[in-house]
Chain A
């Protein structure tokens, strides 16, 4: 799209503002409650009925995916317009209408690697939140070494036949469809992987939730026994799945780094500093009485500020057309450390109030913080462990060699 004159952008802003004013229900301008998050798909119950209206209106407009092409149901906005939409939504404190792995991960990959028919078939329902997607990547024997995956995919002439097991499949029990890495050639490693999509209701698919140390079950073990998948559901080339997988991991890591971490707590949890003031107390000058805790908390605040400025720097430099791969490579590692440190500091500041599990003896936000702290231990494991991230920095960015 051509460069927009400032006046055109301003009239677009007015248009957006008027539309939001008319279409964003009042209840959707209040802080998002944890149990009112909309993930879409056939199992979505819309606990708050207004969230259904909001999703439908935004989906119809394509503004759940503002920058995707209109021919697939997207908003067709350019970068500047999308930014205006974002600003205007923020201005009225509008809730995000949809949380979705389809929007964050699969959709961008499909737009890049899918054929025309696949884009027409899958993208519109992602935009409207009608299909909920899950990601079939890790396996019991393929975690950090993802390319070691063994889920077998055989060519049976008129269909693919899938046998194997995935693990850490986020919300597989809630999802309608899965995008999945499978092995189509076992004589080679990376070059024998393909990228398939299929319906989770297909006979032979079974998802079993895994209970985590935090008590929640956001992940599943997913089993495939003689699952038949139509031939046209292979995305990209046969044995060309690793390229798509890597690209998709970038989308995943950037959405994690941008604040999409599990364990950030959710609504109602205060900052470590606030809990320290409440539970540790302050001295006569207003400083947190425990000097050591105060110093460590300040260190965390400064780390978080430095992280935010690094995200900003890499965004600005990318916009200016500069190479930012080096800077971006550190974000996932740094974000995991930042979130885990924060969770640890919150629990430490809460003292015994941070050691509750359930029941009325502990405040709701404190219990939530405790669960969040436990959940945050996964931050340095999911989406590439911190160790793997450091390996990637050392080898790809710093150019250090592989051990012989």
Chain B
């Protein structure tokens, strides 16, 4: 496990930081919201593609830059700082790694270059209930003459409002709750029988419910071997969880810094409110949480690049701690800003709203605590 960035990784971090600050300020998300864009930002997507961010986990042979998870973590952390609406998590982390790990040579050459260039966005359609439960897949894929017929529904698919390609997790065998019998299907947006209900979400990033009614796809659309997608899916989910945790670290860090600034400017009773010990201690505790969470995320990111055998454990540690830290920091951000933190004009609320979505995606603290305990035989 390495906690020190290489020169290349540091350069990428600096680029991502400058980009988030200069072109992706929080005001951009506010603007998208007020314009009713529902998280769709074509211009930003173009710029992300120019910077090569979509290709970080894609091999050079397929148009990527193959820089690994530590690098991806830097990008995620920086976009988290400004709670930017980007397709990076779904497209460049989950989508790219699933296709790269499970795809045939043809599927890889068909899709990976398009992802790397920013030409398409991808969304993993997995959860069917209101809480993350990757084994609870009831969507059925039944074998027909030329391929499969899919029936079922997917809830709260982030980026589902604009994704060009869905990776649908469906059951070719067994019952909800079992790991054997899961399969992955590449389903383009325009496929007959797929309907997309666009959602207006609290964080203004948008999402969609999917309904699959007799969606027919050919054999060529099965990603990896049928029935046995679980292992690959779980690895991709862990990469997604770690990347999302890195994004949440950026969100929490930025909200904390904004709060710290306020503590050092706002006066009451003739004093800077930051001089009150009741607030100082809470700030110091948040800082402690942030530092410890940062270590977990750095360790988990590097574990993926080193292909260690404790990735699952570290992913749950990173996501659970990111959830807890961001939950605390986002609440304290509103509280410490007082009345102004309750107003729509102030950014506190945007951070709070985004925080709860990030917490829920790919499993909250409760989910990952339980998983961590199980992985430790407890």
Number of residue pairs A-B, CB distance < 8 angstroms: 127
Q: Which of A268-324 contact B (CB under 8 A)?
A: 273, 286-288, 294-295, 297-299, 301-303, 305-307, 309-310, 312-313, 316-317, 320, 322
* Contact residue among B275, B321, B369 (Cβ-Cβ distance under 8 Å from A306): B321
Q: How many whole Å from A244's CB to the nearest CB in chain B? A: 26
Bound-complex Cα distance A390 to B374 (A): 34
A387 at the interface (CB under 8 A from B): yes
Q: How many whole Å from A286's CB to the nearest CB in chain B? A: 7
Are A398 and B378 in contact, with the CB atoms below 8 A?
no
B19 at the interface (CB under 8 A from A): no
Q: Residues of A contacting B369 with CB < 8 Å?
A: 295, 298-299, 302
Are B317 and A306 in contact, with the CB atoms below 8 A?
yes
B83 at the interface (CB under 8 A from A): no
Are B295 and A394 in contact, with the CB atoms below 8 A?
no
Bound-complex Cα distance A312 to B370 (A): 25
Measured CB to CB, the nearest residue on chain A to B263 is: A400
Bound-complex Cα distance A312 to B296 (A): 11
Query: Which of A299, A389, A397 has the most chain B CB atoms inside 10 A of its CB?
Result: A299
Bound-complex Cα distance A298 to B279 (A): 29
Are B284 and A401 in contact, with the CB atoms below 8 A?
no
B308 at the interface (CB under 8 A from A): no
Q: How many whole Å from B359's CB to the nearest CB in chain A? A: 16
Known A-B contacts A298-B372, A404-B271; the reply to A330 vs B277 at CB < 8 A is no
A117 at the interface (CB under 8 A from B): no
Q: Mark B314-332, 1 if CB is under 8 A from A, else 0.
A: 0001001100000000000
Are A298 and B3 in contact, with the CB atoms below 8 A?
no
Are B292 and A310 in contact, with the CB atoms below 8 A?
yes
Measured CB to CB, the nearest residue on chain B to A333 is: B288
Are B287 and A302 in contact, with the CB atoms below 8 A?
no
* Contact residue among A294, A297, A306, A402 (Cβ-Cβ distance under 8 Å from B292): A306
Q: Mark B260-295, 1 if CB is under 8 A from A, else 0.
A: 100110000011101111011101110110011111
A391 at the interface (CB under 8 A from B): yes
A326 at the interface (CB under 8 A from B): yes
Q: Residues of A contacting B277 with CB < 8 Å?
A: 391, 394, 403
Bound-complex Cα distance A60 to B271 (A): 60
Residue ranges of A at the interface with B (Cβ–Cβ < 8 Å): 273, 286-288, 294-295, 297-299, 301-303, 305-307, 309-310, 312-313, 316-317, 320, 322, 326-327, 330, 333-334, 387, 389-391, 393-395, 397-404
A–B complex contacts, Cβ < 8 Å, 28 sampled = A273-B376, A287-B374, A287-B378, A294-B378, A295-B369, A297-B373, A298-B370, A298-B373, A301-B372, A301-B373, A302-B320, A303-B292, A305-B317, A309-B295, A310-B294, A312-B3, A312-B299, A313-B298, A313-B299, A333-B284, A334-B288, A387-B281, A391-B277, A399-B260, A400-B274, A400-B275, A400-B280, A401-B274
